[in-house]
Each structure stands twice: as structure tokens, then as C-alpha cells.
Amino acid sequence: MAKKPSPAIRLQLNKQGELRHLLCIEGLSKEILKRLFDTATAFLREQNSVVKKVPLLRAKTVANLFFESSTRTRSTFELAAKRLSADVLNLNTSVAAVQKGESLLDTLKSLEAMNVDIFVVRHSDSGAAQFIAKHLKKGVAVINAGDGSHAHPTQALLDMYTIMQHKPNCSELTVAIIGDIRHSRVARSQIAILRVMGVRKIHLIGPSTLLPPFAEKLEGKVFHTIEEGIAGVDVIIVLRLQKERMQSGFLPSMNEYYHRYGMTLERLKLAATDAIVMHPGPINRGVEINSLVADGHRSVILEQVTYGIAIRMAVMSHVASGQIQESAE
């Protein structure tokens, strides 16, 4: 019997199979991902022009609803919305109504009454974006900007897009993901999108304390030594240590972690000669990665940031279109 799709998967597509929310990577077809990538490529061309704005979201309002602090992700979402000509509302909820005792649902309903069209949501609880999407009226979209340790779909999309700019033949790639996979929503979404795009060889590298108990079920090959795990790989994704989600005892010390799992020039020599190095940021230099690697010619970390704006523009334009289709039914 075929496995039933999760509520999040069912919620994010309309009857035509187009995006009306973006909550997770699971359930998205290769065709949908390719359409998002093609749209991002078109927006990248616009970013290089004198006038960077396009009018696709003119008269629409995008609310960045961040229950967790973030600089890069929120900034790129804000820039993406503005380049689509939307009005943007940035809400720092740590000082907003929720902190004063109002429920999340009441806060959302108040914002909904202001005719917000797209909510970009980051929350420390897994499933928060799905909860919000479920309770909003028809025609309002939700984009998950990271929920707990569950998912970070736009980061996965921009990572995959970056990989394909350098290595378009996904089926022949070996990708290594190094570090705090246990607490990483990025890693879960990355693994999901790599699988959809046809990458079959994924190496999960880290100490046993930073790998989830179900690591073997994540469809990757597990390594506990970085030297063994990155031998011959084409793509190296270094993860940030999620200190804010760790309890004590996961690591002896940051120095010990760097000694055993830090990405150094010596270790990079073990990968394929044209391997690229990625990091979702923010970088902890001297803990997860050496500066000579982070700033070296194999690093595509700044490309990830640039592509992040175009990818988020693509996602916003697609969910807006999907909501219009939904409302027309």
C-alpha cells in the first residue's frame, strides 16, 4: 500500500499540483523544483540589470514573521519581496504581541485582517509553519523560513541551485554533509532535495552525539571520521553547530570538534580535485571550517547568499500564483 502523504505535503499544493505554500521539500516533484530553478535563473538576470525590480507582487503585502532571530535569512527574504515590488512588513515577534501574552493564532488573525498576502515564518517549534498555514484564510500563502529541527526548504533550494551551477549532472555526484545533523533542519531538507534531484550517494559525517538516532534511515551512508567520509566527494556541505538547540554533553569542546571534524585545507585535499565547499551560514570559523577553506577558491558560500535572493523571489512568485489559482476555483 502506498504511503499516505503527510498533512504538510497535502497542504502545500493546490488541486492543479502547484505550490500554494512552501512548508517542506517532501512531496515536491522534480518538475516543480525545476520550474522554481528556471524562475530563479530569470530573476538572476534581472538582478544584474540596472533596474532590479519586477512588478509581479505589486500591491501585495509580505510579512516576515520571525519568532527566532535571523539576519541573513530575513534580509534575503526582505530583499526578495522588495525586488518583486511587494510591500514588506518585518515583525520581530520577540517584542511583539505574543510576548505580551497573546496567542499565536490571535496574532496571526490580526495580521490577516491587515490583508497580508504572504507570511514568511521562522519558529523554534517544528510544525509551526504548517500550523499557521492550516489556520489562515484561502488566498494567503505561508513560506517556511525554518521550523525547529524539521525543515528549511528555501535553504535546501538555494543549496541545490548552487550545486547545479557547478555540477549539473546530479546522478553522478557524491555529496558529504558534515557536522550537527541531529539538530539541523537544513540537513533534513538538503537530503530530501538531493534525493528528488537524483543524487544517490550522500555521506553523513559527524560524531555519534550529533547524528540523529535514525541517521541510517535518512538514506545516507554514515561516517564517524571526516577523512573517510569526504574521500573523493564532489560536494562538501559543512553545517553550523546548533549550539542553541544543544543540551550539555554533545561535544567535549569546540577545540576537540575542530580537531576531529573541522574542514581544513589538508582534509579538502581528500575530496575530488574540483570539489566545492558550501556552508549555510553563519560560519563559525576555527570551529566548523578553517578560514583558508571558507575564503578559498573552492568555496561557493557567497554564491549561496546571492542565489538565495533569486530562489526566494521564485518561491514567492510561485506561491502567489498558486494561491490565485486556488482562489479562482
pTM of the model: 0.92
* 121-170: pLDDT as tens digits: 998 889 989 999 999 888 999 999 999 889 999 999 999 999 999 999 99
Rounded to whole angstroms, the Cα distance separating 20 from 291 reads: 40
12 three-class SS: coil
* 167-197: pLDDT as tens digits: 999 999 999 999 989 888 999 999 999 999 9
Is the bond preceding residue 252 a cis peptide, omega within 30 degrees? no
Helices (H), 85-224: 104-113, 128-135, 153-166, 185-196
